[in-house]
With several copies, the nearest count.
Chain A
Amino acid sequence: MRRAAVKGGRAGSRTARRGPGRGKADAGLRGLAPALLVDLYVTMRRIRRAEETIAALYPEQEIRCPTHLSIGQEAGATGVCLALRPTDTAVSTHRCHAHYIAKGGDLRGMFAELYGRATGCCGGKGGSMHLTAPEVGMLGASAIVAGSVPLAVGTALAARMAGADEVAVAFFGDAAMEQGVTHESLALAALRRLPVLFVCENNLYATNTPLRTRQAGRDMAARAASHWLPGVIVDGNDVVAVYRVAKAAVERARRGGGPTLIEVKTYRFREHVGPNYDIDLGYRTQVELDRWMAREPVGGLARRLERAGVLPAARRVALDTQVEAEVADAVAFAKASPFPEPAALFADVE
């Protein structure tokens, strides 16, 4: 198990503050194209605003499906997916909005799906937990914890058999490490040295249950060792760190170096499912939440890029406005779209 950076792994703690103080050059950004850095920002911003919009609209009760928001966790999906090509594939979980968007999934298709419309990315049949966009390599998501993990091993196997140098990513949460099939999958990928990235977004909770009551240790990456593949821990609120770790693992996988388990240490701001905050439930402390909110990744990157002179405030505002327009357009599209015909019920079965 390796820690990607001194500051990695102790996410939420003092040492994890990103970037240098004023003035000093930001070593963390060295060697990364400005366009990429801006893309990282815009993608995270798109995820954030799309989900904040879902939260805002949810009370209208027109989004009639459970929604698991990733607000606060945008850096994991973004850092990993921007290290991928469209031909690389990803599978996800119940909390799949960020992965769908970061992989390049169409916002209109996503909102229409949440609204249960025929124009949704799954024709209205899947809902929030099964977002799919094969055209950009997003192969869908399972609402069964860890259910999609072995699928990535299979797509990686298929890619190799097809002679393609694609990489397959499985996104999953910390609780998925408690499912046997995840361990079987890690071991299988290691055995066959398949090009798989196992990305565990450790947000410290499963529903309202803290990690410590579910697992004897704290680091998910440690669990790679016994399956003979490398495990890396990265600060999941530092999208640049995530990108670098993912990029290295992707290149290694493409070269035939085999799979990597990447643990992305991060934190969920809202309730497990639904639009609200849930501090009232008492399963976590305000102090903990505040500490993580202080390290919120989207604004964090904005400030950092501004400081580094990569993304001046003015340009950022323009980009933000663009994102607002995209989201508004997607919502309008969804609301204006027709519901599926009853006949659709019987299509796409066998």
Chain B
Amino acid sequence: MRQLKYREAIDEATRQAMAKDERVFVMGVGVDDPKGIFGTTRGAFEEFGSSRVFDTPLSEAALTGMGVGAAMRGFHPLLVHARNDFLLLTMDQIANNAAKWRYMCGGKLKVPLTIRAIIGRGWGQAAQHSQSLQAVFAHVPGLSVIMPATPADAKGLLMTALSSDGPVICLEHRWLYDKSGPVPEDTYYTPLGVGSVVRPGRDVTIVAVSHMVLEALQAAEALAGEGIEAEVIDPRTLRPLDSALICRSAARTGRLVIADTGWRSYGVSAEIAARAAEELWGLLKAPIRRVALPEVPTPGSSALETPYYPGAREIVAAVKQSLEG
């Protein structure tokens, strides 16, 4: 099948969704900039022009509220942020308005709003430009949270987000944009709440989120060399979360390792572990292991970035601990 880069898949999804549905428009800081947002919005700008793809002032909070208002009025705004850290400026509009308006008015109005934001990493971007805040959004009822890890999922999930009638937060890891993979040319819609088995295996289940999926696949490769067959599962969406798939797999392998791009405590790995512990009572052969960020802000120095970010090596180590029971 045709190969596309992650960034190209997002660009294609955006343009196909806009072509199918004139209510979809794109706004955000730098969305019309050739260098902006890793080139994921420029294509739409060139195809649909500045009336449907427009640059904005640095007023993230009001822009989010604008998105909610435009959504209530029958449009589907795609609001784009260069970094998910900036979403912290918009938490009131996201959690108090976007997530709740439909509920507060008894379903009379809906808020079809998609918000894309990038998880930064590396090159000393440091504490305020490299956070991975999915747990914060996944905690809020009324929101959907998607974290595509492959080009195919990036397109399929974004298409679904842009056709859904509620607010969706799409978090994209910076290190995924240049990765390639097969992507169907037609429009297709990857359902929310359905994870995927990225690599089948019988000995241990590794649930990995976003960029950690790639690390998990590397880890699985290395483990295979030692005769250990790891099954890698990508939940793809965190809210809703496909616990059934995770639990089926872990029930079979008896071992579960969870790898997240965010902080460990009160993070995504905690919810997955908690659900598995609840539902897999008596079925696990070893304690669940979590691979996630240590409890500190992102350091600037490259010398500290290395020990800060866990990866395939740490996943392999966690799997081995798990195999030792």
Which A residues contact B (CB, under 8 angstroms)?
64-66, 89, 91, 113, 116-117, 120-130, 132, 134, 139-140, 142-159, 161-162, 168, 175-176, 178-181, 184-185, 187-188, 191, 206-209, 213-215, 281, 283, 339-340, 342, 344-350
Contact = CB atoms under 8 A, between A and B. Distances in A.
B57 interface: yes
Given A153-B69, A349-B142, A132 B61 contact: no
B301 interface: yes
12 contacts: A122-B105, A126-B126, A127-B125, A132-B108, A147-B65, A162-B74, A162-B75, A185-B59, A214-B56, A214-B57, A339-B302, A340-B299
B108 A122 contact: yes
A350 B107 CA distance: 10
Interface in B268-296: 294-296
Interface of B: 25, 29-30, 33-36, 51-52, 55-75, 77, 85-86, 89, 92-93, 96-97, 101-109, 123-129, 141-144, 166, 240, 294-297, 299-304, 307-308
A128 B75 CA distance: 27
A202 to B, nearest CB: 14
B304 to A, nearest CB: 5
A184 B303 contact: no
Contact of A176 (B58, B72, B101): B58
A132 B105 contact: yes
Given A116-B124, A122-B108, A283-B33, 7 more contacts: A66-B123, A151-B66, A153-B62, A179-B89, A180-B62, A181-B62, A207-B30
Given A155-B73, A158-B75, A188-B62, A121 B106 contact: yes
Most chain A Cβ neighbours within 10 Å, of B68, B129, B295? B68
Given A124-B303, A152-B69, A345-B296, A185 B62 contact: yes
Contacts of B297: 349
A213 B101 CA distance: 31
B103 A150 contact: no
A162 B105 contact: no
A65 B55 contact: no
A281 B124 contact: no
Contacts, number: 261
A191 B72 CA distance: 22
Contact of B33 (A123, A153, A207): A207
Contacts of B128: 129, 142-144, 147
Contacts of A213: 55
Select the residue from B59, B128, B308 with max chain A CB neighbours within 10 A.
B59
Nearest to B22: A161
Contacts of B101: 140
B302 A116 contact: yes
A158 B141 CA distance: 26
Q: Which of A65, A146, A150 has the most CB of B within 10 A?
A: A150
A80 to B, nearest CB: 18
A339 B303 CA distance: 6
A89 B104 CA distance: 18
Contact of A349 (B72, B126, B141, B303): B141
B59 A184 contact: yes
Contact of B105 (A140, A146, A159, A209): A140
B108 A154 contact: no
Contact of A130 (B36, B105, B307): B105
Contacts of A180: 59, 61-62
Q: Which of A91, A152, A153, A176 has the most CB of B within 10 A?
A: A153
Contacts of B302: 64, 116, 339
Contacts of A145: 58
B297 to A, nearest CB: 7
A250 B126 CA distance: 33
B103 A349 contact: yes
Given A116-B300, A140-B109, A179 B96 contact: no
Q: Which of A113, A145, A209 is the most central at the interface, judged by chain B CB atoms within 10 Å of its CB?
A: A209
Given A128-B124, A130-B300, A178-B57, A143 B129 contact: yes
A130 B105 CA distance: 7
B103 A154 contact: no
A150 B105 CA distance: 18
Contact of A122 (B34, B70, B106): B106
A181 B61 contact: yes
Nearest to A117: B301
Nearest to A211: B57
Contacts of B65: 147-151, 153-154, 181, 185
B307 A348 contact: no
A283 to B, nearest CB: 8
Contacts of B67: 154
